[in-house]
Amino acid sequence: MLNTYTPATRFSVICGVALLALTGCSAGDASPASGSHTTAPTGAADERPAADAVTIEEAWVKSAEKDEMTAAFGLLKNSSDTDANIVSVTSTASPMMELHETVANESGQMVMREVEGGFVIPANGEFSLEPAGNHIMIMGLPAAVTAGEDITFTLEFADGSTRDFTAIVKDYAGANENYDGGHGEHDAHDDAAEHDAHSGH
């Protein structure tokens, strides 16, 4: 309550002057949010379960046929002062789910693979799930997922807390990343889905 954090206030004033001069001062630059938290006194760490601090916006899933693989996307936001670590995910779409990243392999080709340690949403930050980037991988679909359908997901965090969210299925032409051969090929069940993904339809 005793918010007399003058540097932030002063910065706002300077920013206002700059705005007059340059018309180039974004609201984000003037926000005291990132600076004022660091002065919190003893024991002020956010002790909410991670699931209570994390939201996902604009969640969607790429439509796909039975036995194919697809993915879920959206923007994860963490309102806590502590990093939030998603360690696993389940959904009503398939029992075969993984947390994936997209990286360059030895030959420079972009491939997706399971991310070690899961997704980390930084304290008071965001973590984007998007085609050609991080995503929630859905493999071996037992049934088609079609545009307009809702799919329910459950995120599990490192502290054991869980959060459900619903994503809507959309038709989308992209997100045909190759699956890193080093992961998953041990499981014969994956192979049909991988071939479908390679064929690009």
Nearer CB in complex with Cu ion: 56/175: 175
112 touching Cu ion, by CB under 5 A: yes
Q: How far is the CB of 112 from Cu ion (least distance, A)?
A: 4
CA distance 132 to 112: 8
97 touching Cu ion, by CB under 5 A: no
CA distance 60 to 74: 6
Q: How far is the CB of 109 from Cu ion (least distance, A)?
A: 14
Cβ density class 108-130: b for 16+ within 10 Å, e for less: eeebbbebeebbebebbeebebe
- Count of residues touching Cu ion (by CB under 5 A): 3
Which of the ranges 25-33, 42-50, 107-115, 155-163 carries the binding residues for Cu ion, by CB under 5 A?
107-115
Nearer CB in complex with Cu ion: 53/111: 111
Q: 166 — phi, psi (to 5°)?
A: -115, 135
163 touching Cu ion, by CB under 5 A: no
Q: Which residues contact 156 (CB under 8 A, 6 or more apart)?
A: 86, 87, 88, 89, 90, 162
Q: β-pairing, 96-104 with 110-114?
A: antiparallel
Q: How far is the CB of 174 from Cu ion (least distance, A)?
A: 13
Q: Using CB under 5 A, which residues numbered 113 to 152 contact Cu ion? A: 137
Q: How far is the CB of 136 from Cu ion (least distance, A)?
A: 8
Asked if 56 and 92 count as a contact pair (C-beta separation under 8 A), the reply is no
Tokens encoding 140: 């071996």
For Cu ion, the binding residue among 86, 100, 193, 197 (CB under 5 A) is 100
Nearer CB in complex with Cu ion: 7/142: 142
Q: Which residues would be at the binding site for Cu ion (CB under 5 A)?
A: 100, 112, 137
